[in-house]
């Protein structure tokens, strides 16, 4: 039922508008589209013969799931496109019946919705090109608007539902943790990589408190850690972190061998990935060439570009923190959630270095293209990031020493 509800959202959301078939990509191809049970039943009652034929052929029940939100799925055509698209790239279902007949997936994307303390938190995904531009290319610090909106929650897929007044000890400190995370990531007295490291040092201390069953000390741990790490002295300490060729090479090899290509389903990403591999001289038999290409791309292309455009990475990180209920989406595994954020940062850096090398430079269009394709094909694959995390765990590298090298390298 539609009613006014309290909404918290980043300021860019008020400016987003889908540009339909004018978009450089299409959100209706290249990945699985789920259909919730309510909409599936509506589809079964459609009388239109042409649409009925497509429905019978291309919508199948998802027998592997008991979730009504994932009740069925749309089988893409031989070109990996949604079979409901017309020749102009527009949705036949939407044209014929309106948004009332769109699945929750189609109706909501590229928005992400959480409910925290009964407030609807709505944010956008970098995997959508026009949304990526709004999120990433604003030079001002991201701010958040609180307003009342008419939202039909029954048409939404809720990612996280959180009550900070519950008996869960860690949930009680969600606001403390998220507020300090965003404050640090937006602190422009430090470079972005320094901010990410400082955040890790603080959350590492918080994780120690949680592991010792001392959750009630989290506010004081945060306060003491800010005083200890958020000062000019930390810059000298962080500058002493040395480049580790073996760690960077291990990371590159892991990324290129863990199965990125298996996740690929759209042509644009295949092209990007091919350029990336060429840009970092990826060849399992020539580790020296890979490292030299990485160093060259970092010093000559990535570092100069990011130095003048740090707000792009800042906006990416802040948006990710807000949209994913960071850092308690994994419950008490706060440091693991931080490590996932570091992996995303390191992956983006690696991709931009490879693409920058290939194109002999970086510009805004290339950065947006790289980040949205990365997000669409990597971040939307839970399996991929979790596989890397598990590999790091197996190698006993789930610690600040390893994360600091990934960030600084």
Distance CA(380)–CA(324), nearest Å, equals 13
Does 163 map to a domain? yes
Q: Is the pLDDT of residue 42 over 60?
A: yes
Does 275 map to a domain? yes
Distance CA(169)–CA(179), nearest Å, equals 17
Task: Say which range, 104-108, 120-124, 202-206, has the weakest mean pLDDT.
Answer: 104-108
Q: Which domain, by its residues, includes 328?
A: 1-27+109-409
pLDDT tens, 289-299? 999 999 999 99
Provide the percentage of residues in the chain whose pLDDT is more than 70: 97
The mean pLDDT of 337-348, rounded to a whole number, is: 95
Please report the pLDDT score of residue 80 as a whole number: 80
Query: Is the torsion defined by CA of 201, 204, 210, 214 positive or negative?
Result: negative
Does 130 map to a domain? yes
Distance CA(249)–CA(357), nearest Å, equals 17
DSSP state of 118: T
The mean pLDDT of 103-126, rounded to a whole number, is: 92
Q: Provide the whole-model pTM.
A: 0.92
> Is the CB of residue 92 less than 8 Å from the CB of residue 58?
no
Prior bond to 327 cis, omega within 30?
yes
β-bridge mates for residue 144, sequence order: 10
Q: Is the pLDDT of residue 178 over 80?
A: yes
Q: Is the pLDDT of residue 259 over 60?
A: no
Please report the pLDDT score of residue 241 as a whole number: 85
Q: Is the pLDDT of residue 114 over 90?
A: yes
Please report the pLDDT score of residue 10 as a whole number: 97
Q: Is the pLDDT of residue 306 over 70?
A: yes
Q: Is the pLDDT of residue 188 over 50?
A: yes
Q: Is the pLDDT of residue 11 over 70?
A: yes
Tokens of 160: 């996280």
Q: Is the pLDDT of residue 162 over 50?
A: yes
Does 203 map to a domain? yes
Measured in degrees and rounded to the nearest 5, phi and psi for residue 241 equal -70, 125
Does 212 map to a domain? yes
> Is the CB of residue 338 less than 8 Å from the CB of residue 203?
yes
Please report the pLDDT score of residue 204 as a whole number: 96
pLDDT tens, 130-158? 999 999 999 999 999 999 988 888 788 88
195 compared with 248, residue with greater pLDDT: 195
Q: Is the pLDDT of residue 284 over 70?
A: no
Task: Give me the sheet containing 3-10, strands edge to edge.
Answer: 144-151, 3-10, 119-124, 111-116, 158-162
57 compared with 65, residue with greater pLDDT: 57
pLDDT band at 70 (very low <50, low <70, confident <90, very high): confident
Q: Is the pLDDT of residue 257 over 80?
A: no
Tokens of 361: 């430079």
Does 191 map to a domain? yes
Does 44 map to a domain? no
pLDDT band at 2 (very low <50, low <70, confident <90, very high): low
Q: Is the pLDDT of residue 1 over 70?
A: no
Q: How many domains does the chain have?
A: 1
Please report the pLDDT score of residue 254 as a whole number: 82
Please report the pLDDT score of residue 368 as a whole number: 95
Tokens of 181: 């995370």
Does 33 map to a domain? no
pLDDT band at 346 (very low <50, low <70, confident <90, very high): very high
Please report the pLDDT score of residue 151 as a whole number: 82
Tokens of 124: 């956008």
């Amino acid at each position: 039922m539609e009613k006014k509800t309290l909404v918290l959202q980043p300021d860019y959301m008020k400016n987003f508008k889908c540009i339909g078939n004018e978009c450089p990509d299409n959100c209706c191809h290249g990945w699985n589209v789920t259909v919730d049970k309510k909409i599936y039943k509506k589809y079964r009652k459609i009388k239109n013969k042409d649409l009925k034929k497509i429905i019978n052929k291309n919508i199948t029940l998802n027998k592997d799931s008991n979730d009504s939100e994932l009740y069925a799925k749309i089988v893409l055509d031989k070109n990996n496109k949604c079979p409901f698209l017309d020749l102009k790239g527009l949705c036949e279902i939407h044209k014929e019946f309106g948004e009332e007949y769109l699945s929750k997936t189609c109706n909501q994307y590229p928005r992400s919705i959480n409910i925290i303390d009964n407030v609807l938190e709505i944010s956008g995904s970098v995997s959508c090109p026009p949304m990526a531009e709004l999120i990433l290319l604003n030079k001002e610090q991201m701010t958040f608007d609180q307003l009342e909106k008419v939202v039909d929650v029954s048409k939404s897929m809720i990612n996280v539902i959180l009550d900070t007044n519950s008996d869960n000890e860690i949930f009680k400190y969600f606001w403390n943790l998220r507020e300090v995370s965003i404050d640090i990531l937006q602190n422009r007295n430090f470079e972005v990589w320094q901010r990410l490291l400082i955040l890790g040092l603080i959350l590492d201390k918080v994780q120690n408190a949680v592991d010792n069953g001392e959750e009630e000390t989290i506010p004081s741990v945060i306060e003491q850690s800010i005083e200890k790490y958020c000062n000019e002295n930390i810059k000298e300490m962080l500058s002493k972190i040395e480049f580790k060729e073996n760690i960077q090479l291990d990371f590159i090899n892991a990324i290129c061998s863990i199965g990125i290509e298996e996740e690929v389903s759209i042509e644009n990403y295949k092209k990007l990935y091919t350029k990336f591999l060429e840009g970092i001289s990826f060849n399992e038999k020539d580790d020296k060439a890979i490292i030299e290409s990485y160093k060259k791309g970092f010093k000559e292309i990535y570092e100069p570009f990011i130095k003048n455009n740090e707000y792009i990475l800042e906006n990416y990180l802040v948006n990710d923190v807000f949209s994913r209920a960071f850092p308690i989406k994994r419950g008490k595994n706060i440091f693991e959630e931080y490590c996932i954020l570091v992996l995303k940062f390191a992956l983006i850096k690696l991709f931009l270095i490879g693409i920058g090398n290939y194109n002999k430079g970086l510009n805004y269009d290339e950065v947006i293209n790289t980040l949205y394709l990365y997000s669409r094909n990597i971040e939307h694959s839970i399996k991929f990031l979790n596989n890397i995390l598990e590999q790091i765990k197996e190698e006993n590298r789930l610690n600040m020493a390893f994360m600091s090298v990934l960030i600084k390298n």
